[in-house]
Chains A and B, each alone.
Chain A
Amino acid sequence: MIQLTNIDKYIDKRFQRTFILNGINLDISEGEFVTIMGPSGAGKSTLLNILGFLDDASEGEYKFLGEPVHNLSEKQKSKYHKSHIGFVFQAYHLLDELTVYENIEMPLLYRKVKGKQRQAMVAEMLDKFNIVAKKDLFPPQLSGGQQQVVGVARAIIGSPKLLLADEPTGNLHSEQSEQIMEMFKKLNEEGVTIIQVTHSEKMAAYGNRIINMKDGILLKNGSGYS
């Protein structure tokens, strides 16, 4: 599904080039649940952002479903982005001025889904994550765990093939974290490819492959399925 070949990401400053990512080679197949681990500043988030089309690599090839992403136009990227990728953030990133319902609905609006169908899809999500009662509340009225549940619901409502999660449990206490991870696991079993960044071994254990990074380099390719 994902093929990275010699991906570099660097910042040029005066006479010095600082590498954030350096020669990344990575293959991820459909249905995997990958965990990227490593210390702060290792380049985990940058890698995730490149995978999710939120950022561009400076050098190298990125093939998504066989398509070379580095050659795609902004429009095409946006199209792929919409139909194949979902995001979950550490800071939840819900819009405070929208209700739970509207937050979940938002990606569908950008996908130009019809009103009736939208209603049905949001209702299904609310149901699935057990937050029907909270649909008219605004994010600040929810606990962190509940907000992240909404964040996950928003990420998968468009049925993405790939779910990217940047420290999804970083702001949560353990019970809430486990709940989110269970959700991920279930989604993975339903066929969604998941790539998450985390610091926690415990959370990493939910996945089936671990990639370790340091200073922009892949240390050890978790060799397949544990």
Chain B
Amino acid sequence: MLKNYLKIAIRTIRRNKIYSTISVLGLAIGITGATLLYLYVNDELSYDNFHEKSDQIYRIVEILDNADQGTRYFGQTAPVLGATLGESYPEIEEMVRVYQPGGHIDMLWKGERVHERNYLLADPGFFQVFDFEFVMGNAENPLADPNSVVITERTAEVLFGDENPIGQNLPFNGIAPVTVRGVIKNVPENSHIQFDYAISRLNTGFNWNEYLNDWSAYGAYTYLLLDPSTNLNSFQTKLGGFVENQKESNSDARNFYLQPLSDIYFNSSDIEFGVERTHGNIFYVTIFSAIALFLLLIAGINYMNLATALSARRGREIGIRKAAGAERQQLVYQFLSESVVVSLLACAISYFFIELSLPFFNELTGKQFLLNGETVLTILGILFGMGLTLGILSGSYPAFYLAMIQPIRALKSKTESKAGNLTLRKVLVVTQFALSIVLIIGTLVIYKQMNYIQSVDLGFEREQTLVLDINHGNVRSRFEAMKQELETIPGVVSAATSSRVPGGNNIEQVYSRSLESGSADSLQTYFMSFDEDMLDLYNLQLAAGSNFTGNKGVDSLSVLINETAVEALNLDNPVGSFLDISGVNSPIKITGVLEDFHFQSMHQNIAPVIIGYWANPIRVIDFFSVKLTGNDMQATIEQIKGVHEQFDPETAMEYRFLDEQIEQSYQAEIRAGRLFGIGGGVTIFIACMGLFGLALLATETRIQEIGIRKVLGASVSDILTLLTTDFVKLVAIAIIIAIPVGWVVMNSWLQNFAYHTELGASVFLGAGILALLLSILTISWQAIRAALMNPVESLRSE
């Protein structure tokens, strides 16, 4: 019987070539998109869950309550906290601290400069708490001894090639050689802890003992492995008492809470020093899951719509089968098997689509999905599962609908049966288009916002500015000479140095207090250090007072502040007044007020910022900004590299263009915009394909009517109107539904930005007109063909 079902399914598919192509292709595109998005969402959600005990692992997050600024959270703690906790509570099976001091470690390796930022220091328990797969060496306790290191496969490959790395020494500058104890597989992309070198405690000049016992210190990411039987709530309560006790003897002790490992990736956006890399955004994960469902839904609807519409053609077949003794159930099976065949066919095609689109998709999402021996089965499994589910779900409505047709009615008339479900079919078309239009609105809003960011006046110039990292003490101490050297290059307009550049992130924060107002409360402000050339180079405007003079003796006790800071500090006459700044022993004089500029991304409101001179006790300089003329960039950059090499004996030059760096802050949004765009394009394409099929069918069944109308004197345009209005009405309803939905979703998206564009009518108008045009284009091809047909022929055909 099954064989018979399949045979019939295949013949029916073949007989209705156009409709089958539309269904299969629509499903294939839908399944492809949904599978890719599933991979993405699944990958996002799988962050950190490859550790065997991931549900027992918690990170300590410190809480800092501050009357002025509300509560702040820190991902790093004092190292002594973890140690004390570990000793005090049996619930804690293992405690491990990880340090990522930042900066870089360097060595001269086989004549090459190795410059490494991707490293961490860890307690010996690191590899017991976290499961990273070992390929070589001691998996049990590789970090037991000081000066041991575990490296990743890719590092081993670079450093050692085919040699066995175990037991070899790595001679990093400034520390004793570290010995390779193990090699692990590359750290999975979906781990919030990323490293190429995991180093045990070092025997260096640094005073570890003092640091490890200092309750006021920071810098340790502390992870606790709790006993599986621990009740988290009661344990948290117990820990509250612990802090109170500690505070009695150590006034520096701070409050904290435990953050589950699985929460770290998505819920760290308000935690300072939380996750170094871009963290996940649950908003996008939700949206992309929704798009994936939309795609499947739309493709499924297409199939359902076409299949039920086609039922008019199949009424006779059903009647005959019933007359031959078919039970309703048997007919349901027959039609279901048909839809399953169609969707499995679509699966096979989507496999090739996925293979083709994967590199592009990886580029789009910044992920690394591969079709190889390991993943191919998973993907095939997903495809098969999706195909089967989709086949059964979207096939069941037509199947039941068809099987319910009364045999005698079906045998008698061909057209009677199509009237019944017309409403449902219309609802489905409206749903499809509404979903597509929402996505198009989303795309347009994102592009509008990105455009806004590109074109808005940031308060500084971002064009043709090259930013160089200062990676070496030698550069830092001789920066003035290097600046002069850079300015002699013909392609360079000017050069300046600073701790951070405008538009950046990770900006130092300090507490400051006006000595004039006599207020005891201090204000948290951002702090950057500039040299006297920064204002010119970035074209920053002074609202009052004057720039640094260039005289180190005077400038090191002066600062500039922005207008927001003036307001926040409540200063009437800022220029000439003095500030008390945390970490500085003497009063600091405000010599100038800068007009506000967006020194952070547009996600943030402009905050108070204090700008100190490069020679200040808080923050050293980290970057060169080099303004270029724009002529012969390549040669200019080569020359800049030459200058860099004179001053930095060890590291290779790290540089990027400021406008590109600023764009990096909007990576997630740009990515989302592209995905929305593609999602919108694909969904509307599938929806139009479905519309095409329905229009084809509608004209086919109305061919006689059209013939009669033409004989009676209807013009071509009369016929066109007749055939298109029905469908255009549906699209219009879809637009009306999509607009409020799009408004709500995108309005909440815009709230991610402190500075954003307005939604505006143009976005909704644009999306609506686009959908209308596309649908009219789709239908009119059919309609024109029908309208131009010779009526004599269409009448004869019946």
Q: Contact at A93–B319, with CB atoms within 8 Å? A: yes
Q: Evaluate contact between B12 and A49: CB separation under 8 angstroms.
A: no
- With beta carbons under 8 angstroms apart, the residue of B11, B15, B319, B325 that contacts A110 is B325
A97 with B4: CB separation less than 8 A: no
What are 25 pairs between A and B in contact, CB < 8 Å? A52-B323, A54-B408, A75-B327, A78-B325, A81-B325, A82-B325, A87-B324, A93-B411, A94-B320, A95-B317, A97-B11, A98-B8, A98-B11, A106-B321, A106-B324, A107-B324, A107-B325, A109-B4, A110-B321, A110-B324, A110-B327, A110-B330, A112-B1, A154-B324, A158-B325
Asked, given contacts A81-B325, A110-B324, whether A97 binds B330 with beta carbons under 8 Å apart, the answer is no
Q: Which 6 A-B pairs have the closest CB atoms?
A: A82-B325, A110-B325, A107-B324, A97-B11, A93-B320, A87-B323
Please give me the residue from chain B that is nearest to A110 by CB atom: B325
Identity of the chain A residue whose Cβ is nearest the Cβ of B407 in the assembled complex: A54
Chain A residues near B317 (CB-CB < 8 A): 95
Q: How far is the CA of A97 from the CA of B334 in the complex (A)?
A: 14
Whole-angstrom distance from the CB of B230 to the nearest CB of chain A? 59
Number of residues on chain A facing chain B (CB within 8 A): 25
Q: In the complex, what residues of A have CB within 8 A of residue B11's CB?
A: 97-98
Contacts of A154 in B (CB 8 A): 324
Would you call B325 and A54 a contact (CB within 8 A)? no
Q: Is the CB of B326 within 8 A of A110?
A: yes
Q: In the bound complex, how far is the Cα of B323 from the Cα of A154, in angstroms?
A: 11
- Interface residues of chain A, those whose CB is within 8 Å of chain B, are 49, 52, 54-55, 74-75, 78, 81-82, 87, 89, 93-95, 97-98, 102, 106-107, 109-112, 154, 158
Encode contact with A along B1-15: 1 for CB under 8 Å, 0 otherwise: 100100110011001
Contact with A along B321-348 (1 / 0, CB 8 A): 1111111101000000000000000000
Residues of A within 8 A of B323 (CB): 52, 54, 87, 89, 93
Contact A111 B325 (CB under 8 A): yes
List of B residues within 8 angstroms of A74 by Cβ:
328
Is B476 interfacial (CB-CB < 8 Å)?
Answer: no
Residue of B nearest to A74 (CB): B328
> SS class of chain B's interface: helix, strand, loop or mixed?
helix
Residues of A contacting B7 with CB < 8 Å? 102
**Assembly CA distance A14 to B630 (angstroms):** 86
Give chain B nearest CB distance to A15 CB in angstroms.
24
20 additional A-B pairs beyond A55-B408, A93-B411, A107-B325, beta carbons within 8 Å, are A52-B323, A54-B407, A74-B328, A75-B327, A93-B320, A97-B11, A97-B15, A98-B8, A98-B11, A102-B4, A106-B321, A106-B324, A107-B324, A109-B4, A110-B324, A110-B325, A110-B326, A110-B327, A111-B325, A158-B325
Is the C-beta of B316 less than 8 angstroms from some C-beta in chain A?
yes
| Bound Cα distance from A58 to B291, whole angstroms | 52
- Which chain B residues (92-121) contact chain A, with CB distance < 8 Å? none
Q: Which residues of A contact B408 (CB under 8 A)?
A: 49, 54-55
In the complex, what residues of B have CB within 8 A of residue A49's CB?
408
The answer to whether A78 touches B407 (Cβ under 8 A) is no
**What B residues does A158 contact at CB under 8 A?**
325
Query: A81 contacts which chain B residues (CB < 8 A)?
Result: 325
Nearest chain A CB to B456 CB, angstrom units: 64
CB <8 Å contact, A89 and B411: yes
In the bound complex, how far is the Cα of B411 from the Cα of A107, in angstroms?
Answer: 17
Contacts of B15 in A (CB 8 A): 97
Q: Which residues of A contact B411 (CB under 8 A)?
A: 89, 93
Residue in chain A with minimal CB distance to B4: A109
Residue in chain A with minimal CB distance to B324: A107
A181 to chain B, nearest CB (A): 21
Closest to B412 in A: A45
Interface members, chain B 38-55 (any A CB < 8 Å)? none
CB of B656 to closest CB in A, whole Å: 64
Contact A78 B320 (CB under 8 A): no
Query: Nearest Cβ in chain B — how far from A87, in angstroms?
Result: 5
A87 contact set on B, CB distance < 8 A = 323-324
* A114 → B minimal CB distance (Å): 11
Q: Give the CA-CA distance A75 to B328 in the complex, in Å.
A: 9
Which A residues are CB-close (under 8 A) to B1? 109, 112
User: Which B residues are in CB contact (< 8 Å) with A55?
Assistant: 408
CB distance from A165 to the nearest CB of B (A): 12
Q: Complex formed: what's the CA distance from A39 to B563 in Å? A: 100
A67 to B470, CA, bound (A): 100
Interface residues of B in 711-731 (CB under 8 A from A): none
Q: How far is the CA of A74 from the CA of B403 in the complex (A)?
A: 13
* Option from B4, B12, B319, B327 in Cβ contact (under 8 Å) with A78: B327
Which residues from chain A contact B319 at a C-beta distance below 8 Å? 93
Q: Which of A82, A95, A102 contacts B320 (CB 8 A)?
A: A95
- Asked, given contacts A78-B325, A82-B325, whether A97 binds B12 with beta carbons under 8 Å apart, the answer is yes
Complex contacts, A102 vs chain B, CB 8 Å: 4, 7
How close is B498's CB to chain A, nearest CB, in angstroms?
Answer: 77
Q: Which residues of A contact B316 (CB under 8 A)?
A: 93
**How distant is the Cα of A87 from the Cα of B325 in the complex, in angstroms?**
10
